[in-house]
A and B are shown apart, each in its own frame.
Chain A
Amino acid sequence: MSLSTEQSIEKVLDLASQKKVSAEALVIETKKFNASFQDQALNDYEVTSSRSLGIRVVDGSHEGISYTESFSTEDIESTFLEAQANKNFVTSDCDPSFPEAKSIVNNMDFFNPQLSEVPVDLKLEFAKNLETYAKASSDKFHSLPWSAYADIEAKVLLCNTSGTQSSYQTNSCHAYAYPLCVNGDKRGMAFAAESSRNFYDLSAERIAKKSIADSVLKLEDTKPKSGKYSIVLQSKSAQTLLSLLVSHLSLKSIDQNLSALKNKLNEQLFSEKFHLIDDATYAEGMAARPFDAEGTKSSKNTLIEDGILKSYLTSFGYANKYNLKNTGNATRSTKSGINISSTNLLVRPGKLTFNELVDLDSEVLVVDNLKGLSGVNPISGDFSIESEGLLYRQGQFHCAVSNFTLSGNIFETLKNIEELGNDVEPTIKNIYSPSMFVGKMSVAGA
């Protein structure tokens, strides 16, 4: 017989009491919807639900983790025993015990009940319209190989033997289009996406038109000559680049000697125009949450202020180890250990318009797509990434460029920010950044 979520948590805490160990039960329940169309036929339709339980057993400095998707009494018992056995092998880098008990129940701040009520027919129509509008936007439209409307609803419950009994609900929806436009032998593709907690904030027409306009621009692309170019990282590319910074900001990475930012607190490492905040309370951000994976209440934290590294991302155990503030950035799924990561990352926008940014030099290469991140050295921060972009001369669009790499180093690039734009594009990465003029960088092309 399958136990309810509440019964399963109770069972874990009972077992911990019997075995005289500390334990934490994390249950995540999710419901997902996803639909896409090709040639006006339903290409993909998924409606799913799942529930999983993660058990973390702590005994002194030892910590073991196990998980299950079966909620029978027997399987929960065996999962608990497995976590208990796993702890015998592990000596944690920091005190793995739980923060002081706090019970936070928040079912409304990051959950829009109206989103759960949107009729399936409307969602399907939205997904179909992505293709309809894309097709109508240009005679160069060939197909829409990648697109979707999707929404997700999650309930997170975290309880431990220290008395924490917290839970929250969250939901969000997003849609994207990545159409293929063709002109003779030339192929152009560009991605556009939006996300929200309100279905009616999304616009299939806006997404489709944006993606098609950008795709058509790329039809006349050329391969740039290798050399140094003045670079603007367009908002989406800046977001991608910033995702590479997150692991270096983690105090766990610092502790494990995997970050280049070790012993750099309060140093001027970046451009004085660069200001970065992590804000788990930013309700418009899809990564908002009332508490982190250890139960610490969420907060807003300045990480980089005027280019000075002011704070790492921390968790309870690591913050204690280094006598730093706990920023509440512990994260984990039911199937992983405690890690430290960002929530909603926000870069303070500048004052220049995009047109002013591309007029900062006589020739400016706007990188609007960093494609795949396999060419990133996670330790040194060096990167060489296949890219696409737009070449501007004297502030005017000259041509699209593709099939080149952009090479540099994440820390040097952020140090070289000369100007920031005022243009923060919609994101589905939970990173909100304007475009950045970053000076000269290496481009490998023809």
Chain B
Amino acid sequence: MTVTQNIMENILSAALESGADFAELYLENTYESDISLKSQKISEAISGRNLGAGLRLFYGNESIYTYTNDLTEKGLLEAAQLAAAAKKGTSSTSIKNLSPYKYDSIHKYNALPWDVPKEKKVSYLQQVDKAARDFSNEITQVTARINEVHKQVRIANTEGLLAEETRQYCYVVCSTVAEGNGLREYGMAREGSLASSDYFETLNYKKLGEDAARTSVVNLKANFAPATEMPVVIANGFGGVIFHEACGHGLETTTVASGSSVFSDKLGQKISNDCVTAIDDGTIPNIYGSLSIDDEGYPTQKTTLIEKGILKSFIVDHMGARKTGYKRTGSGRRQNYKFAPASRMRNTYIDKGDSSLEEMISDIDYGLFAKNMGGGSVNPSTGGFNFSLMEANIIRNGRIEEPVKGASLIGTGIDTLSKIVKVGRDLHLVYGHCGSISGLVPTTVGQPAILVSRMTVGGRA
């Protein structure tokens, strides 16, 4: 990026002339490459560069945001003046000298996206396609996609912070269609990481294709899940989407600060059983939701949200800290410069407990084993959440039995947390994307298998 430190200081100083008490400049230069395979041939190859700046001003607890992709000094100054024109403040704060924040990144990158030939990425997609089609002759369509992002961010603010980070993301996703007996079913599998292109060499493409194919083939023969309340064992890994939706979003200061989250007044209170300890950790090396600094330039952290059932911390960004008085947790995140940062989850999981999956299953007379989950959503202000099942089985007399399909699991956050009665030992984290007020950000969800004593299973009556 050609925006010099001197220009950054000029822009921040200009922004403060409106009487703001804080100004922050976020510069981004992102290269993204995306290759898709469909119908056994490469259907799309798209790549390009996002380049822009976001400028944010604080007036106490009020915030002004603007962005532009004119990164000339003139363009940035116009953006600063546009933002500053929105409001007049009374602060006489002046900019402190920018001082580079130095740190040793724990994340390692060995290659750049453009270092690895696209031919190689195409061959990975072809391996996924072959594995899925070889799994069953009921597979009639395979879509596979390989995506890489190389993102450079640079953040400066009037408190003298100058921080930068380069982040690289990789993921591969496969979806399949199986057909038989006049029915069509869908399957999906994915892998991703905070990593450079050499990560793609470590993946098992045969397994990825087979996993997606298996889901669609299994569902082809499955009946619809029942519509009822029952005990549910949720498998490890992406099962962690339950905590992400049921609780995680409700702990973000975006909703906590206005008092509208169901968890707003629960800090220090028992909100779950002793078996539940939940963590949001941005510091795990090279996994999808990790960072070195957040998108406000603050060092990211490991944050214990719930410890043995007691709510210990919220997820706090800069403005959230201003509004609530809670300490920042390095959780200010945004999809790109077109979004103002907000408090967001990073790698969020229920920590391992001391039960085994077998114990949980064997205690249930009639229930559901949620083996493979899709996405979900929540309203943090009512606590109502949902997530979809991609693969599930009925548990009958302590055994996992026939597969069922077509259900979502729903509940309300506080009620569901109180019904997590067993937590397994098989903690596993899985990459994902989370969409919310500041856009789509890379996250990880995870958990060991857990037993929820009663949930609504949204199948067919």
Which A residues fall within an 8 A CB radius of B? 2, 38-39, 41-52, 54, 64-70, 75, 79, 82, 85-87, 89-93, 120, 142-143, 145, 180, 187-189, 223, 226-228, 256-258, 260, 335-337, 371-372, 374-380, 382, 384-386, 402-405, 407, 442-446
Complex: how many Å from CA A75 to CA B1?
A: 13
The stretch that binds A, out of B182-190, B421-429, B442-450, is B182-190
Q: What is the CA–CA distance of A64 and B51 in the complex, to the nearest angstrom? A: 21
16 A–B pairs (Cβ distance < 8 Å), ordered by A = A50-B338, A69-B52, A69-B69, A70-B69, A70-B71, A86-B45, A90-B45, A143-B258, A143-B381, A180-B382, A372-B376, A403-B410, A403-B456, A405-B456, A444-B407, A444-B458
**In the bound complex, what is the Cα–Cα distance between A47 and B64 (angstroms)?**
8
Report how far A284 CA is from B381 CA in the complex, Å: 33
Docked-complex contact A384 and B461, CB < 8 angstroms: no
- B255 x A145 contact (CB < 8 A): yes
* B224-244 residues at the A interface, CB under 8 angstroms: 224, 226-229
> Which of the segments B36-44, B147-155, B284-292 contacts the partner chain?
B36-44
| Cα distance A80–B412 in the bound complex, in angstroms | 50
Q: Is the CB of A335 within 8 A of B83?
A: no
A337 neighbours in B (Cβ, 8 Å)? 43-44, 46
CA A44 to CA B319, docked complex, whole Å: 11
Contact (Cβ within 8 A) A50 B52: yes
B262 touches A379 (CB 8 A): no
Tell me whether A46 and B456 are in contact (CB under 8 A).
no
C-alpha spacing A320/B124, complex, angstroms = 32
The docked-state distance in angstroms from the alpha carbon of A187 to that of B259 is: 13
Complex interface: stretch among B204-212, B275-283, B383-391: B383-391
Note all chain A residues with C-beta closer than 8 A to B143: 256, 258
Q: Please, what's the 1-or-0 string for B317-360, where 1 marks a CB less than 8 Å from any CB in chain A?
A: 00000000000000000000010100000000000000000000
A92 contacts across to B, CB distance below 8 A? 43
Question: Which 3 residue pairs of A and B lie closest in terms of their CB atoms, listed nearest first?
Answer: A405-B458, A372-B377, A444-B227
Does B402 sit within 8 A of A, measured CB to CB?
no
Q: State whether A69 and B49 are in contact (beta carbons under 8 Å apart), knowing that A374-B374, A405-B458 are contacts in the complex.
A: yes
Chain A residue nearest in CB terms to B406: A382
Nearest B residue to A406, CB-CB: B458
- Report the separation of the CA atoms of residues A226 and B382 in the bound assembly, to the nearest whole angstrom: 21
A89:B42 contact, CB within 8 angstroms: yes
- Interface assignment of B363: CB less than 8 Å from any CB of chain A: no
The residue from B67, B87, B258, B376 contacting A45, defined by CB atoms under 8 A apart: B87
B386→A375 contact, CB < 8 A: yes
**B375 lies within 8 A of chain A by Cβ:** yes
Contact, CB under 8 Å: A442 / B87: no
Residues of B within 8 A of A226 (CB): 227-229, 461
Q: Chain A interface secondary structure, helix, strand, loop or mixed?
A: strand
- Answer yes or no: B156 CB below 8 A from chain A CBs: no
Contacts of A86 in B (CB 8 A): 45-47, 118
Chain A residues whose C-beta falls within 8 Å of the C-beta of B461 in the assembled complex: 226-228, 407, 442-444
Check if A335 sits within 8 Å of B458, measured CB to CB.
no
Q: Would you call B458 and A407 a contact (CB within 8 A)? A: yes
> Residue among B64, B255, B461 with the most chain A CB within 10 A?
B461
- Measured between beta carbons, the chain A residues less than 8 angstroms from B226 are 444
Asked whether, in the complex, the Cβ of A65 is within 8 Å of the Cβ of B45, the reply is yes
From B59, B185, B384, B457, contact of A386 by CB (8 A)? B384
Contacts A372-B377, A386-B408; A120 near B86 (Cβ below 8 A):
yes
Type the 1/0 row for B75-97, where 1 means its CB is closer than 8 Å to any CB of A. Answer: 00000001100110000000000
Q: Which residues of chain B come closer than 8 Å to A405, judged between CB atoms?
A: 227, 386, 407-408, 410, 456, 458
Note all chain B residues with C-beta closer than 8 A to A377: 185-186, 406
How many angstroms between the C-alpha atoms of A92 and B44 in the bound complex? 8
Is B260 in the interface zone, CB < 8 Å from A?
yes
Within 8 A of A (CB), among B365-414: 374-377, 379-388, 405-408, 410-412
For residue A389, give the distance in angstroms from its CB to the closest CB of chain B: 13
A385-B386, A442-B459 are known contacts. Are A257 and B377 too (CB-CB below 8 A)?
no
Contact among A46, A189, A442 with B381 in the assembled complex (CB-CB below 8 Å)? A189
By beta carbon, the residue of chain A nearest B407 is: A384
B228 touches A90 (CB 8 A): no
Interface residues of B in 18-62 (CB under 8 A from A): 35, 38-39, 41-52, 59, 61-62
Which residue of A142, A145, A187, A384 contacts B458 across the interface (Cβ within 8 Å)? Answer: A384
Chain B residues lying within 8 Å of A374, measured Cβ to Cβ, are 374-377, 386-388, 408
B177–A386 touching, CB < 8 Å: no
Contact check: which of A66, A75, A445 meets B46 at CB < 8 Å? A66
